[in-house]
Amino acid sequence: MAQSASRRGVRYYFRIEFSTLQGKITSGFCFLGVFAVVLMASAYWVLNPALQKSQYVATVLQPSQYQLLQLSAGSERLVALAWERVKTDEPLSLSEVKEADQLLQGSLDSLQALAAHWQLEESRMDLKVVALKTGALLGKIHQLARTPNPLEQLAILEREVASIRAIQTSQITKLQQQHLAEVQAAQTLIDAREANLIWILLGSMAFAAVIGATLGTIIVTSVLREIRRLKHKILELSEGKLIAPIPPSRNELNSINKAVNELSENLRTIQEFAQEVGQGNFDTNIQAFDGRNELGLALAGMRDSLKTVALEEKQRSWIASGLAHFATMLRSSSTDLTQYYQHLISELVRYLGVNQAALYVAEEDELGRPMLHLKACYAWGRLKWEQKTLAPGQGMAGQVFLEKTPLFLNTIPQNYLQISSGLGDATPNHLALVPLQVNDTCNGVLELASFKPLARHELEFLLKLSENISAALQHVHSAQTTDRLLQEAREMASAMQMQEEMLRQNSEELIATQEKLSRDLKEASQLLEVYTHALGRGHHPQFLLSKEGQVLMANAEARALLEVAITAQQHISSLLKLPELVELLQREGSQLAGSKPYTHPEKGMYALHLQPFAVHGRGYAILQLVHQTSALPA
Q: Is 151 helix (H, G, I), strand (E, B) or coil?
A: helix
pLDDT at 519: 77
Torsion sign (Cα): 131, 132, 133, 136: positive
Q: What is the pLDDT of residue 467?
A: 85
Question: Is residue 469 a contact partner of residue 344, using CB atoms and an 8 Å limit?
Answer: yes
Residues 590 and 610: beta-carbon distance below 8 Å: yes
| C-alpha distance from residue 69 to each of 64, 79, 126, 249 (Å) | 9, 15, 15, 79
* Residue 451: φ, ψ to 5°: -85, -10
Q: What residues have CB less than 8 Å from 173, skipping those under 6 apart?
A: none
521 pLDDT higher than 60: yes
pLDDT at residue 496 tops 70: yes
Across the strands, what pairs with 378?
357, 383
Dist. CA 471–CA 441, nearest whole Å: 10
Task: Name the band, by pLDDT with cuts 50, 70 and 90, for residue 383.
Answer: very low
What CA–CA distance (Å, rounded) separates 460 from 432? 12
What is the CB neighbour count within 10 angstroms for residue 528?
13
Q: pLDDT tens across 445-467, in order? A: 988 888 888 888 888 888 888 88
Quick check: 526 pLDDT over 50? yes
- Tell me the DSSP string of 192-226: HHHHHHHHHHHHHHHHHHHHHHHHHHHHHHHHHHH
Q: What is the DSSP letter of 377?
A: E
The model's pLDDT over 74-109, given as tens digits with 9 standing for 90+, comes to 888 878 877 877 777 777 677 777 777 788 888 888
Q: Which whole number is the average pLDDT over 541-553?
A: 80
Q: Check residue 142 and give its pLDDT.
A: 79
Residue pLDDT, tens place only, 5-64 = 445 555 555 555 555 666 666 776 777 777 778 878 777 777 777 777 778 778 887 888
pLDDT digits (tens, 9 = 90+) for 195-249: 777 887 787 778 778 877 777 777 777 677 777 777 777 787 777 777 777 777 6
In terms of DSSP bridges, do strands 618-627 and 542-546 run parallel, antiparallel, or are they unpaired? antiparallel
Which of 631 and 210 is assigned the larger pLDDT?
Answer: 210
Write the CB contacts of 510 (distance below 8 Å, at least 6 apart in sequence): none
Would you mind telling me the total number of residues written for the chain in this entry? 634
In DSSP notation, 369-383 reads -EEEEEEEEEETTEE
Q: Containing H/E element for 627?
A: strand 618-627
Question: Please, are residues 393 and 402 in contact by the beta-carbon 8 Å criterion?
Answer: yes
Where does residue 358 rank: exposed (0-12), middle (13-18), buried (19+ CB within 10 A)? buried
Nearest 5°: the CA angle 454, 460, 462 is 75
For residue 596, what pLDDT band results from cuts at 50, 70 and 90?
Answer: low
The alpha helices in 239-293, defined as continuous H runs, are: 253-278
* pLDDT of 380 strictly over 60: no
DSSP state for residue 539 in the 8-state scheme: S
pLDDT (0 to 100) of residue 332: 74
- Cα separation, 302 vs 296, whole angstroms: 10
The model carries a pTM of: 0.40
| CA dist., res. 96 & res. 103, Å (int) | 11
Please state, rounded to an integer, the average pLDDT across all residues of the chain: 76
Which residues, 6 or more positions from 386, have their beta carbon under 8 angstroms from its beta carbon? 374, 377, 422
Phi/psi at 539 (nearest 5 deg)?
-105, 60
% residues pLDDT > 90 (the chain): 0
Q: Is the model's pLDDT at 393 over the cut of 50?
A: yes
| Contact criterion met (CB below 8 Å) for 467 and 438 | yes
* Model pLDDT, residue 295: 67
pLDDT value at residue 414: 63
d(CA 461, CA 439) in angstroms, rounded, equals: 18
CA separation for the pair 553, 567 (Å, rounded): 9
Burial of 531 (0-12, 13-18, 19+ CB in 10 A): buried
Residue 507: CB atoms within 10 Å: 11
Which residues are bridge partners to 379 per DSSP? 356, 382
Instruction: Reply yes or no on whether the pLDDT at 272 is more than 80.
Output: no
Q: Go through the domains of the chain in sequence order and give each one's CATH number.
A: 22-214 (1.20.120), 332-486 (3.30.450.40), 536-627 (3.30.450.20)
Residue 81's Cβ-side half-sphere holds a number of Cα atoms within 13 Å equal to 20
DSSP state of 285: P
- Calpha distance 488→467 (Å, rounded): 31
Whether the per-residue pLDDT at 121 is higher than 50: the answer is: yes
